[in-house]
Structure 1
Amino acid sequence: MDKISIIVPCYNEEKALPEFYRVTSDAVNGIEGAVCEFIFVDDGSSDHTSDILESFACADSRCRYISFSRNFGKEAAMYAGLQNASGDYCVFMDADLQHPPQLLKEMYHVLKTEGYDCCAGLREDRTGENKLRSILSRTFYKIIRKTCKLDMGDGKGDFRMMNRTMADSILELKEYNRYMKGIFSFVGFDTKWIPFHNVERTAGETKWSLPSLFRYAIDGILSFSSAPVTMAGTAGALLFLAAIVTGIWALLSGNGLTGIPLLVCLILLLNGVQMFFISILGQYVSKDYMESKKRPIYIVKKKGGFTST
């Protein structure tokens, strides 16, 4: 009999977890030919998430939990869950029920009978989501498709079931700065997409603010693309030519000292652009610096429900 590991990153999800556990348990009970385990990863929550997960592990032998010493981020939580998963198939799900558990049965059937390595959910819309956030998200995915040359389209998120081969391939990528959507695409494997409609959270509030989403987007681009560096070089060459042309024009115009303010503005503009692109290069250097430290991706404070504990 196959084993399915359901990996659930959690950050301050005390309101959503009971309903998630109830609905998902009902869904997996209907999967014939497979047993399931739940691996909840508490990403340094400040509410009672850890207590709820401990109660799950005490009441249900299928439930395990890992609590981080602090908030390391969703990417680290997903990696920790995958490291501790023992299933033949592994699933990533959010605790807010925006990933429909009813699709798990179909995903398992696809992997068992159709020869795919991965079956993932394709979000068809953004119902219940802030309009500004929707516009920014769509714009980000358009940019990242062009710069990274990887299959990371809008709606192609973390909700997916994969076989053990793909899971082990992801675990081989041990970089500190992780962007899982890019990693899924990087490792390849045959993926079937199942469309589903977005729904509002079952409880609680989203932990993703616009600034955090912006940082997440920048991390994604810098992790899988050198396009910003190329853009910096191209822009530098164009601005250099523009400066020469502007200088020649100022000299030939015969305006004398009146051209000085123009040149001053031009110098300030070029210095500003230069500093901007130096910042881009600095981002790459800083990420390489963090990788060279070989720090752990996460630190475990407490575990429960595992046979070794």
Structure 2
Amino acid sequence: MDKISVVVPCYNEEEVLPLFYTTITETLHKMRDITYELIFINDGSQDGTLHLLKGIAKEDSHCVYLSFSRNFGKEAAMYAGLQQSDGTYTVIMDADLQHPPVLLPQMYHAVSKEGYDCAAGKRMDREGEGKLRSFLSRSFYRVIQKLSKLDMSDGAGDFRMMNRTMVNAILDMKEYNRYMKGLYSFVGFDTKWIPFHNIQRPAGATKWNFRSLFSYACEGIFSFSSTPLTIASTLGAMLFTTSMILGMYILIQTFVYSRHLSAWLGMMFIILLLSGIQLFFVGIMGQYLSRDYMENKNRPIYIVKETNRK
């Protein structure tokens, strides 16, 4: 009998958690010839999420919870859940029901009967999202697709069921700065994409604002692409060449044609432009160095404060 481990990161999901638990258990009970476990990761929630998880785990022996000592982020929560899972197949899904549990039987059939290593949900639209946020998200995925040369298309998220081989491959990568969408693509394996339409969360509010989304986007780019450094080097070479041409032009105009160029405004513009570009690319290099710095510290990806798993 196959066992399915369902990993659910939770951060301030008090309002939607009871509905999620009811929905996911109803779906899993309908799937015959399987057993399951629900692994809830409380990622430093400030509301009553942990209290609810304790109550659920007390009433249902299928449920396990881990509570972090603080908010370590969704990437750390997913990693912790994968480490705790011991099922034949492992599912990662959000607690806000935007990952429809109704797709689980179809995913299970793909990985257990059709021979796929992974079955992943792919969101086909962004209905209900703001136009600006939708535009920025699509633009980000187009950019990272070109920069990283990995398959990280728009709509391909964390909602997926994986076999044990793929889970172990992801766990072997113990880097501190984690970007799971990139790791899924990096490890490869045969994936079946299952389309679904965007679903609005039935309760609670999203934890992703523009600031956190921008930070997440930077994490993805700097973790899986060195192209920004290449761009910096190329632009630096172009600016150096341009400055040499400009210098030759000034010398010719001054000593050959005896023209005295007075261009304080132009010089100020050039100085400010070059200084700004230099600082910008120093910042890019700093991003890579800071990530290497954090990796070399070898700090734990997460810290568990309490759990009901023995």
Q: Normalised by the shorter chain, which TM-score bucket?
A: over 0.9
Corresponding residue of 2:277: 273
Q: Distance in 1 between matches of 2:2 and 2:232?
A: 50
What's the offset of the Cα at 1:24?
0.9
3-state SS, counterpart of residue 202 of structure 2: coil
- 3-state DSSP of counterpart to 1:83: helix
Give the whole-Å Cα distance in 2 for the aligned partners of 1:252 and 1:20: 75
The Cα RMSD (Å) is 1.1
- 1:82-119 superposed Cα distances (whole Å, 9 cap, x missing partner): 00011110000000000000000110011111110000
Q: Which runs of 5+ in 1 are unaligned?
A: none
Amino acid corresponding to residue 10 of structure 1 in structure 2: C
C-alpha distance in structure 2 between counterparts of 1:156 and 1:203, whole Å: 23
- CA–CA separation in structure 2 for the residues paired with 1:268 and 1:244: 18
Report what 1:292 is aligned to.
296
Matched, 1:264 2:241: no
Q: Which amino acid aligns with 1:233?
A: S
Letter in 1 for 2:8: V
The residue type paired with residue 60 of structure 2 is: D
How far 1:267 sits from its partner (Å)? 1.7
**Counterpart in the other structure of 1:179:** 179
Q: Supply the AA of the counterpart residue of 2:267.
A: L
- 1:232 is paired with a residue of what secondary structure? helix
Q: Which amino acid aligns with 1:162?
A: M
Paired residues for 1:13-28 under 5 Å: 13-28=13-28
Give the counterpart letter for 2:78 in structure 1.
M
TM-score, length of structure 2 as denominator length = 0.96
SS of the residue corresponding to residue 160 of structure 1 reads strand
Distance in 2 (alpha carbons) for counterparts of 1:162 and 1:176: 22
Rounded to whole Å, the distance in 2 between the matches of 1:107 and 1:136 is: 30
TM-score, with structure 1 as normaliser: 0.97
Is 2:152 the counterpart of 1:152? yes
CA positional deviation for 1:252: 4.8
Contact 1:44 1:72 in 2 (8 A): yes
* Pairing of 1:88-237 with structure 2 (within 5 A): 88-237=88-237
Cα deviation per residue 1:189-218 (whole Å; 9 max; x = unaligned)? 000000000011111111011011001000
After TM superposition, give the deviation of residue 268 of structure 1 in Å. Answer: 1.7
Indicate the SS of the match to 2:199: coil
Secondary structure of 1:102's counterpart equals helix
Code of the aligned partner of 1:295 = R
Aligned 8 A contact 1:175 1:291 in 2: yes
| Alpha-carbon distance in 1 for matches of 2:224, 2:11 | 26
Identical counterparts, % of pairs: 59
Q: CA separation in 2, counterparts of 1:213 and 1:199?
A: 19
